[in-house]
Structure 1
Amino acid sequence: MHKDSLGNEGRTVAGDVQVMRAGTGIFHCEFNREDKPTRLFQLWIDMRAPDASPRWASTAFPKANQTGRFATVASGRVGRGGLPIDADACVLGATVRAGEQDRA
């Protein structure tokens, strides 16, 4: 669960992707309301403009026909898809079974 000082609140389920730009300042927390442990993967990427206003967004990871294939989940590059970020970066993700390789 995500909650922040901008009034954003959302439940991020397994496989979802969220982005947050701290920018000029934001208070936030991530917490687990489930009865079982939560695992998450978090990346911190330097922004192009650190003085930008803060923001938050979330979306489901593209699952259909993606097994073994990379998909853009967040990008600061025009036309790459995924959630927009204010950075010179492109974050890719894939669902890969044991022994499987990327088919891209």
Structure 2
Amino acid sequence: MAELLSDSQADEAVAKLSGWTRGGKEIERTAELPSFPKAIEVVGKVAELAEAADHHPDIDIRWRTLTFRLSTHSAGGLTPKDFQLAARIDEVLSAAR
């Protein structure tokens, strides 16, 4: 199981990410894509990354707006796995614009 981060460690880690915020035991980012098909393409790429990492975000799809939420449920909060996947999601989003 991944090691649970302290509040200060989680705050420090989220500060290094672009567009992510922390709310208690999860981090969240919302992104608007140019079109609905592009948003679905991003979701597909994130799904592949998540499956490879065996760490799956909650994803809300609202037309071309995506909201990603990450938390390591098995650990009861935030772990390095969340921030590693968040950084990979950022890469996917950057490439999609």
Asked whether the two chains share a fold, i.e. TM above 0.5, the reply is: no
TM range (shorter): under 0.3
Bigger helix fraction: 2
Bigger strand fraction: 1
Higher relative contact order (CA 8 A, sep 6+): 2
Q: Which of structures 1 and 2 has the bigger CA Rg? A: 1
